[in-house]
Amino acid sequence: MGKTQIVKKKEKVRPGAWQIILIAGFLFYMFIPIISTYLFSVATRWDRTILPEGYTLEFYGKTFEASYFLSSLRNSIILSVSTIFVSLVLIVPTTYWVHVRLPQAKPILDMLMILPFGIPTVVLALALVQVYNPTPLGHSPVLLIGAVFIYSMPFMYRPISNALNAIDAQTLTEAGQSLGATTGQVLLKVIIPNIFAGIISGSLLVFATVFAEFTLTKLILGARFKTFPLLLVEYTRINGNIAAAFSVISFTIAWLVSILILWVGKKSQGASAEAVRSH
């Protein structure tokens, strides 16, 4: 009875006034810029009143009429998806191997994954251009994919590392190998299904980071490989309303792709669970 009363008392606890104010302030801080961008993209004029004087969809029509709209959108999606693929191929096996076979190297790997945060993208881009410019690779999108991969490594590594810490990867590996599975089979059929939530989280972070990346693309390839952020910045000098419309489209696409990745991940997890139950 005493425990039941304690539980009931805990359930009746309500957030204090300062907590409500803090949360409301945070939501206000996060959503006001987004709402303002949406309003500015449909505003006929908004410089003399608190709210726009009128609304129109004309600027969205002009965004779709832009000569590089589809090609820049395609390039951004290709760059983001390619970076996710490279990150999964390189980071997942490496992180797993370090956790299982070389745990003493984990602090070194953690430190290496922090380095991209300390290297300015301008420095990274100029260094890569200086080294690879004399070669055909210096004028190829492959170099850009490598650059954004380095820049986004921490966003893929940390969720996967945390997911591996949450499971007993060593025991699962030994159990799989005792049943005759190779290291590759254990990774694909045992470890990856158990860390799939971390893979999905990392993929979302990498996509959001790369899709909005501007500096590396501008300095490494420039107009040779125009992406959506480059097109957006170009229109900020031409028309702010059209640039706001591009921002809204970019945000919406990133949001829809994030939902798609989450849906695919949920479906894959459901299929894996069903396969396990069938066995």
Summarize pLDDT for 85-114 with one digit per residue, the tens: 999 999 999 999 999 988 899 999 999 998
| pLDDT tens digits, 45-59 | 877 888 888 888 888
Answer yes or no: is 33 within a domain.
Answer: no
Let me know if residue 21 belongs to a domain: no
Q: 109 lies in a domain? A: yes
Distance between CA atoms of residues 215 and 246, nearest Å: 18
Q: Which residues pair with 43 in a beta bridge?
A: 55
Q: In the predicted model, is pLDDT for residue 267 greater than 70?
A: no
Q: What pLDDT is recorded for position 152?
A: 93
Answer yes or no: is 175 within a domain. yes
Give me the pLDDT at residue 277, please.
Answer: 53
How far is it, in rounded angstroms, from Cα 28 to Cα 22?
A: 10
* 194 domain-assigned: yes
Write the CA distances from 169 to 10, 54, 105, 161, 276, integer angstroms: 37, 59, 16, 11, 18
Q: What is residue 154's predicted lDDT score, i.e. its pLDDT? A: 93
Average pLDDT over residues 12-17: 71
Q: Is 60 exceeded by the pLDDT of residue 274?
A: no
Residue 13: its pLDDT value, please? Answer: 66
Average pLDDT, the chain: 84
- pLDDT higher than threshold 60 for residue 9: no
Q: What are phi and psi for residue 236, nearest 5 degrees?
A: -65, -25
Domain around 205: 69-278
Query: Of 50-59, 117-126, 147-156, 259-268, which one has max mean pLDDT?
Result: 147-156
The Cα–Cα gap between 168 and 172 comes to: 6
Tell me: pLDDT of 5 over 60. no
Cα maximum dimension of the chain:
79
What's phi and psi for 181, nearest 5 deg?
Answer: -80, 145
- pLDDT tens-place string over residues 139-193: 788 999 999 999 999 999 999 999 998 888 888 888 888 888 888 899 988 899 8
**34 belongs to a structural domain:** no
Per-residue pLDDT at 66: 79
pLDDT at residue 223 tops 70: yes
Q: Residue 202 in contact with residue 155, Cβ under 8 Å?
A: yes
pTM above 0.85, yes or no: no
**Contacts (Cβ under 8 Å, ≥6 apart) of 86:** 145, 146, 149
Based on the structure, what is the number of domains in the chain? 1
In a domain, 10, yes or no: no
For 40, the enclosing helix (H) or strand (E) is helix 17-41
CATH number of the CATH domain containing 268: 1.10.3720.10
* Residue 145 belongs to a domain: yes
Amino acid in position 279: H
